[in-house]
Amino acid sequence: MLAASAVVTAALLAFHRTVHRVAGGPGGLLESFLPWLGLVVVALLGLALLRRSAVALTALLLPAALWTHLHAGLLLPRPEPGARDLVVVQHNVSDENGDPAGTARALADAEPDLIALEELVPSALPVYERTLAARYPHRTVHGTVGLWSKHPLTEAGPLDIKPRGIPEDWSRALRAVAHTPYGEIAVYVAHLPSVRVRANGLASSWRDESAGLLGRAVEAEGLRTVILLGDLNGTMDDRGLAPLTSRMKAAERGFAFSFPASFPLARIDQVMARSARVSHIRTLPATGSDHLPVAALVSPDDGPANR
């Protein structure tokens, strides 16, 4: 039984995308929590040692190797910031946040170059603007998403990633050009639709459609270097985000589980880049939101000018 469980765990790690295609919603749940299969491997290892089962221990080599290949790199220590590193912060601040001023101060204390916020509501927006103004003089807000920057911003405007079937006003993405010491960088901020957990798995059609629209916008982007910050309502293993993960790099180190803030189980707040490395991602202390903020180191690649 232990050996069979090890083989099943290995199969789930190796063929999780196939499971998603076959099982649909339940497969999405598997991909959302894929790193936690490492705990299954550890538990099986403990039982195999307790039973002194050579067959089970041998079988466990396969899921252990697969988990190491998929996720062990994320456990590497945080690198020291380099001369060309940008620090960026991503946070869904929650439309029910009772302390927007404290949240803004906490994010600014991480001393990022860029701060991306989602779920900005009209009553809280002036508080974020006042609190961040001194250290982040450049900002743009469209709908419920905003970007604050130490560096000048131009060409700022809303980005249409609204899925069909959403009738109400819905503006949850923007694009701007940040003029950094390392050149012009296209910065996208997005909040993809929520994924609903149901008895038969995940309902994610709106999220997937919105991810496709965002992926096409990134593909058409004229600037070489792109940074995407957002609440994508999906993990990097979720194939629903393939329009983005196939075009952009995710964090090389750090799990940074960001949701729910009370007991984080998955990172759905993401920092991704094109023609740049996201060398590390980490969570920041909890704020008044149901998400934890995440901070990342981004290193633009050397290459031809963006323009």
CB 54 within 8 A of CB 234: no
CA distance 23 to 200: 9
Among the listed residues 57, 8, 12, the one whose alpha carbon sits nearest the alpha carbon of residue 30: 12
**Are 84 and 182 spatial neighbours (Cβ–Cβ below 8 Å)?**
yes
- pTM of the shown model: 0.86
Tokens of 147: 């970007």
Q: How far is CA 170 from CA 48, 119, 165, 197, 270, in A?
A: 53, 12, 11, 22, 21
pLDDT in tens, 132-171: 999 999 999 999 999 999 999 999 999 999 999 887 889 9
pLDDT digits (tens, 9 = 90+) for 116-129: 999 999 999 999 99
Domains of the chain: 2-75 (no CATH), 86-300 (3.60.10.10)
pLDDT at residue 25 tops 60: no
